């Protein structure tokens, strides 16, 4: 079976998709067959009569294996809101067991499967479960994307604490520079390194366009 990783973040819009694509390229550089999966996506648009998410399409594009869109993104919703609300408005209940079954199909087709979460670690996906429950059900180690901006130390420490409380293994974290010219960037990164024994895997710069080769080369050879 493939090795899998679950990519979560300290918030929404902090670079999870670019990180997932860069990690996909990192493993492709090692000669591995790689698939990226975004099980749940809100804020989707109609494309050829079907709801499609730009982030999920990016992961589909960078995969080593050609797959139907529905396997990459089983739950696609139009409203750009929290997934449990988007699903409710669409008359859908997000079923974790169904996502696990899809993942199990994908892991037979690749060496590495990267699963991108939605929002942060405790974002609800239905009336009783959140992203943490999905990661636990998939039984995957987690990689945390920390959006480097004012307030990130608190957000990151809360996220790390919640992951530990959920008894989920955390493989490492990535500093994504979402705030251009952040004051005391290095000092913030050092503070987080001092606060946790979780390895820093990479620092991704603030860029207008994703260059997966450039980003993948910034990942430490520790995965």
Which residues participate in catalysis according to the annotation?
38
Distances (CA, A) of 193 to 48, 66, 156, 187, 219: 46, 38, 11, 10, 16
Interatomic CA distance for residues 134 and 137, integer angstroms = 5
Q: Could you tell me the two tokens for 173? A: 């974290």
Measured at the CA of 177, the angle between CA 192 and CA 20, to 5 degrees, comes to: 95
Place of tokens 């603030």: 206
Interatomic CA distance for residues 132 and 129, integer angstroms = 8
Question: Cα-Cα-Cα-Cα dihedral of 72, 206, 172, 192, to 10°?
Answer: -140
Interatomic CA distance for residues 41 and 126, integer angstroms = 13
User: Given its phi and psi angles, is residue 84 left (phi above 0), alpha (psi -120 to 50 degrees) or beta?
Assistant: alpha
Closest CA to 20 of 44, 39, 45: 39
Other Cβ atoms closer than 10 A to 169: 13
């Amino acid at each position: 079976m493939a090795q899998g990783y679950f990519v979560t973040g300290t918030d929404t819009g902090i670079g999870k998709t670019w990180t997932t694509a860069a990690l996909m390229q990192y493993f492709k550089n090692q000669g591995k067959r790689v698939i990226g999966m975004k099980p749940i996506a809100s804020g989707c648009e109609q494309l050829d009569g079907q709801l499609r998410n730009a982030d999920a399409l990016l992961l589909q594009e960078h995969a080593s294996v050609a797959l139907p869109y529905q396997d990459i993104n089983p739950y696609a919703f139009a409203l750009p809101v929290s997934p449990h609300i988007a699903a409710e408005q669409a008359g859908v209940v997000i079923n974790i067991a169904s996502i696990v079954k899809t993942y199990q199909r994908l892991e037979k087709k690749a060496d590495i499967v990267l699963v991108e979460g939605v929002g942060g670690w405790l974002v609800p996906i239905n009336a009783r479960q959140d992203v943490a429950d999905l990661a636990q059900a998939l039984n995957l180690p987690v990689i945390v994307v920390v959006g480097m901006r004012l307030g990130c130390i608190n957000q990151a420490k809360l996220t790390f604490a919640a992951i530990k409380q959920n008894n989920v293994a955390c493989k490492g974290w990535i500093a994504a520079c979402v705030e251009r010219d952040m004051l005391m960037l290095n000092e913030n990164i050092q503070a987080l390194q001092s606060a946790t024994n979780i390895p820093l895997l990479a620092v991704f710069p603030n860029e207008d366009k994703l260059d997966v080769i450039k980003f993948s080369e910034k990942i430490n050879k520790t995965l």
